Amino acid sequence: MTENVQQSGAAGSSTFAGSDSRRYNYFEPAGRRATLYEDVTVDVQPDPSRHLIQGWIMSFADGMPTYGDYTTAAKCSDWHVYRSVDQEWSRTHYQRQSHIENTIKMLVDNARSDGAPGRFDAGWIKVLQDHFGALKHAEFGLGVALMKAQRDGVTQMVNNAILTNASYKLRLSQDITLYLADVGLDIEIDGDAGKKSWMEDPAWQGTRKAIEAILAATDHIEIYFAANVMFEPLIGEMFRNALIMRAGPAHNDFVTPAVVSAASDDFRRNLANTITLLKMLNGDETHGKANRELMSGWVEKYLPLCSEAASGLESVWGLADSGELDYAGNVGDARLRCKDILTEIGVGLPAGMTL
């Protein structure tokens, strides 16, 4: 019988075949060297088209396997090429989310101890209560839709990009909720009013309808598209940036714009991730044309919903305006922004539609 060998476990303590093979070697890095994000992400969700030689060993009753490209109408020659632009993995995700939460806490604590909410204009407080309070449900709805969508992508890179997007949206919806409740300790804010607007106020019904359409979608790429290419530029970003961030200071409110400002950067990152994925699909040599047509169909579905949502919100602009707001200009800018994104991903407008 051979005895056990006494041996140092340290790298370099012996030299033999393979003793210097110190990188994951089963995938092609996007750049010259694999990034940490790639190392902890690529191929963690296996795929029969790569290394999974036994195929998926479980299926649904109809024979559909655990994962497959049957979950989206979009087609791709190689889904595994996709890398998220923000290169987010769990540690960077926690760092960023935690940084945002800590910043909001510091900001709101300081503003409250300085009595800042007491100086908000009375009319503005009502806008915050009824309408900023309604927006939180839209953000929540997007978070829920994206959370559901991260089940279905055929690669880890796609699913994780959607997962972090869901996390950002759900955080934002909670940030708004808790911010209104916290300042509600200092000034009169009815914590139920936002939900009431969301459910009943005609101004919000278009927006709710658009969000419910996204929630009802079952195709994960469609959800990702509808959230970031359609709803965000046309409604979400416009409401947060053009209304809250611009009108706040005019009504003595520097706090709310700061609380919501992280959402701009959230969206920039998620938009970059989305555009990169959709460009890959639309530039696909085999499937690009069909994908562009598919997405043009999604524009046809969601653009009218978002347009209806935007017109509904005009009255809110009216309530918040003390001379600095320009609803028509804001809608025009938002539509241009959406148009730019569509151009970037190579999707044309359906016949008869304009942006």
Q: Which residues inside 138-197 make contact with another protein, applying CB under 8 A? A: 140, 143-144, 147-152, 156, 159-160, 163, 166-167, 170-171, 173-175, 177-178, 181-182, 184-185, 191-192, 195
Length of the chain in terms of residues written: 355
98 sits near another protein (criterion: CB under 8 A): yes
246 sits near another protein (criterion: CB under 8 A): no
57 sits near another protein (criterion: CB under 8 A): yes
130 vs 284, which CB is nearer to another protein?
Answer: 130
134 vs 247, which CB is nearer to another protein?
Answer: 134
2 sits near another protein (criterion: CB under 8 A): yes
* Total of residues contacting another protein (CB under 8 A): 105
CA–CA dist 169, 190 (Å, integer): 23
Q: Positive or negative CA dihedral for 328, 334, 337, 339?
A: negative
Q: Least distance from C-beta 306 to another protein, angstroms?
A: 14
Residue from the set 77, 106, 109, 348 that interacts with another protein by CB under 8 A: 109
Contact 141, 209 (CB under 8 A): no
Residue from the set 51, 249, 264, 304 that interacts with another protein by CB under 8 A: 51
205 vs 276, which CB is nearer to another protein?
Answer: 205
CA–CA dist 34, 27 (Å, integer): 9
CA–CA dist 224, 169 (Å, integer): 12
**Cα Rg, the chain, nearest whole Å:** 24
Contact 310, 243 (CB under 8 A): no
User: SS3 of 65, please?
Assistant: strand
CA–CA dist 32, 60 (Å, integer): 40
- DSSP summary character for residue 286: T
192 vs 340, which CB is nearer to another protein?
Answer: 192
284 sits near another protein (criterion: CB under 8 A): no
Smallest CA-to-CA distance from 232 within 185, 155, 172, 317 is with 172
Q: Least distance from C-beta 121 to another protein, angstroms?
A: 23
258 sits near another protein (criterion: CB under 8 A): no
226 vs 316, which CB is nearer to another protein?
Answer: 226
